Chains A and B, each alone.
Chain A
Amino acid sequence: MTESTIQSGNGSSLRVLRPFRAGFPNMRDYFHDVWNRREFVSELSRADRENEHLDTFFGRLWNAISPLLSAAVYYLFIFVIQGGHQGAERFLHLVLGIFVFEFISTAASRGSTSIVGASGLINNTKFPRVLIPLTNVLTAWRIFLPSLAIYAAFHLFSGRPISFYMLQAIPALILILIFSTGLALFAATAQVYFRDTASLMPFLLRLIMFVSPVLYFPEQAKDLLGGRFLALLNPIFCMVEIFSGSIVRGSTFDVWTWIIASGWAFLSLVIGFCFLVTREGEFAARL
């Protein structure tokens, strides 16, 4: 709704609900409402997490156990079955890649079911719908952060150096966060119209993982497919390359790698956000 809030004489506010202009609500009011409800996002994420794993023996420890188990499984597959120990560098790259991929994957898969799952709230209360998938990105982020500490332990234990170039991982991680947010917003909206989205999501994510420098080093993939082909087509290739490469090897990256990574991140956010916001007026009729 295009909606202007003005303070009237008797202290209560006047709101005017009008048709969306070109599919978009009034963006100033929209962001204002989002900002005002930031405590809702934080609180909902906390409540969601507290109620998960309540009935399992390890409880919230699962947030640390599951990325470790994935790393162990892939370690077994790549190093043991494919033969030969290939050094600490490769192991660290694998662990870090899987941790950051788990973040993207958790944000996207939780995001995809988030709006349909919140139909009760959506049918009763007016608030910017973008908050629901954002909550799930925040939850994925909160699950991810401790796994960085696990990585740090591995890194120190392996005796790898700590380099100044590691700082590049911070902007790379921000790009990964931006990309994941866009993906979560897109998937959450798509799920409203196409309820198979959430079921397709694991396969899409697995595909993205196999074409990303997680199980192998980026240069191996580039050899395979020639130049930047894969890096251009796979949205997360460059982000993961920078994030992992700067931490594990202390590498630097050319400007194109940064441009491709940033391009995909912001494209994802813009598409996901526009898709959700132009459709959210229908949610209360669709759910």
Chain B
Amino acid sequence: MSSLPDSKDITIAVENLGLTYRTRLSRTPNIKEAIVGFGRRQKSVVSVEALKGISFDVKHGTVLGVIGSNGAGKSTLMKAVAGLLPPTHGEIRIQGQVSAMLSLGIGFNPNLSGRENVLLGGLAAGLSRAEIEENFDAVVDFAELHDHIDLPMRTYSAGMYSRLAFSVSTTINPEILVIDEALSAGDASFKEKSYERIKELANQAKTLLIVSHALGTIQDLCNEVLWLDHGKIAMQGEPEKVIKAYTQYLHVGDINAVLEDF
């Protein structure tokens, strides 16, 4: 049925994956909404069919870029691969430990220190205290946060948050790394460093999934691109080819305008 277990070089096999979730129209559900909405016979809950039966394989050492318009299902796909949202139908087979950086920085509790957050995040992900402590200095080194690691994270700048998040998810031995829109944070030199780290991980035959609207970044880093449109795969293949088709689809005449990182 699935192409996975026999072919050893495939890390992620997604088969006929469909994901529908229910969500509220208003940001925070409360009693007033419920009463007013009921009176007007409004439906306050909507079903979103974010992924409509997609199938693809990702091989070891692939840096897969995922592109598409807003609402195409990119983030939902990332959450599904990270195990945060269960599939509605189909299945995902994953070979190895997944580390995710999905909603940047906010995986952390702002009142606790950077050190406590790194420990708690790691324990929640199922790592042992020893594994975390072993890698702790390397995490702090890469994030360049020596002076701040014992301060509460509410004192951190947005860039510091993202440096720590990136450092944690890439340092503690991930086999598969899922990154959603996180690369644009941090200053130019850290960005350079994080590109290097991503390339390094790809060379070690780790697998990376990157979602970004910055097509320039995708083209630089990825050796394969998946274009999602309305919950379906519009195209998958070589970065240049897919990005070209995508920009033509967007009717953006000048390809350089979309290749800019913003």
A positions within 8 Å CB-CB of B: 1, 3, 8-10, 12-20, 25, 33, 36-37, 39-40, 43-44, 47, 51, 118-127, 131, 193-196, 281-282, 284-286
Contact = CB atoms under 8 A, between A and B. Distances in A.
A126 B93 contact: no
25 contacts: A1-B87, A16-B91, A17-B80, A17-B86, A18-B91, A19-B89, A43-B123, A51-B112, A120-B103, A120-B108, A120-B109, A122-B84, A123-B79, A124-B106, A125-B124, A125-B125, A126-B125, A131-B124, A194-B34, A195-B29, A282-B21, A284-B79, A284-B84, A284-B85, A285-B79
A120 B82 CA distance: 14
Given A282-B22, A284-B85, A193 B29 contact: yes
Contacts of A39: 123, 128-129
B86 A281 contact: yes
A-B pairs, top 7 by smallest CB distance, nearest first, are A124-B107, A126-B83, A40-B123, A120-B106, A284-B84, A285-B21, A12-B96
A203 to B, nearest CB: 13
Given A19-B88, A124-B101, A125-B121, A47 B22 contact: no
Contacts of A286: 23-24
B92 interface: yes
A14 B29 contact: no
Interface string B131-171: 00000000000000000000000000000000000000000
B95 interface: yes
B157 to A, nearest CB: 17
B70 interface: no
A189 to B, nearest CB: 13
A123 B75 CA distance: 11
B189 interface: no
Interface of B: 4-5, 8, 21-24, 28-31, 34, 48, 76, 79-80, 82-98, 100-103, 105-109, 111-112, 116, 119-121, 123-126, 128-129, 175
Contact of A47 (B48, B92, B120): B120
A43 B120 contact: yes
A118 B103 CA distance: 13
B107 A120 contact: yes
A123 B102 contact: yes
- With most chain A CB atoms within 10 A of its CB, the pick from B86, B88, B120 is B86
Contacts of A20: 86
Contacts of B109: 47, 118, 120-121
B91 A126 contact: no
B125 to A, nearest CB: 5
A15 B126 CA distance: 14
B83 A17 contact: yes
A17 B92 contact: yes
B124 A47 contact: no
A108 B8 CA distance: 49
